[in-house]
Amino acid sequence: MIAAAGAAFAVGIGVALAWKYRRRPDPDEIERKRRSYINHVGRIAEGRVTDLVELPAQTSSNKRFGIFASRASKPAASGRRLVCYSYSISGVTYETAQDITGLAKRVLVEQMVSGQLASVKYDPSNPVNSILIADDWSGIQ
């Protein structure tokens, strides 16, 4: 009986540690999955590019403390590029932005201008969720 309780305790500790230190997806991976989903289920609407924003590189830090703390903050490799755009669905106008940092091969950023027409893919069940560029699709003409 004591051995079974000890084994159950050890398994519980193992599960708790595995859950605490499991690999969490990074923001780029989450964004890639979101783009893929919208590209798969999305409908197309007419939109318009409103702005192109370049954000400077930031440092990232890990919020763990004590013996589990990791290395000091390290700067990101480069800044982020955001393309701001707007589109209308059923009389509602949406204005949003998409991080296109890893998608430079899909579109020539130098040719994008404010006011340019574009095709926007959006989730029909949640029209706020949209993309302008995906890994294998681009709404920029």
CATH code, domain with 134: 2.40.50
The pTM of the full predicted model, rounded to 2 decimals, is 0.69
Measured at the alpha carbon of residue 34, what is the angle toward residues 122 and 58, in degrees to the nearest 5?
A: 115
Number of domains, the chain: 1
**pLDDT score recorded for residue 46:** 95
Provide the residue range defining the domain that includes 96: 26-138
pLDDT in tens, the chain (141 residues): 888 888 888 888 888 888 778 778 888 888 899 999 999 999 999 999 999 888 887 655 555 544 444 444 444 456 788 899 999 999 999 999 998 888 877 677 777 788 889 999 999 999 999 999 998 888 887
67 in a domain, yes or no?
A: yes
pLDDT at 140: 85
Tracing tokens 């404010």 back to the chain, one arrives at 114
**In this structure, is residue 20 part of a structural domain?**
no
Residue 83 falls within a domain, yes or no? Answer: yes
Assess contact for 113 and 82: CB atoms under 8 A: no
How far from each other are the two terminal CA atoms of the chain, in whole angstroms? Answer: 71
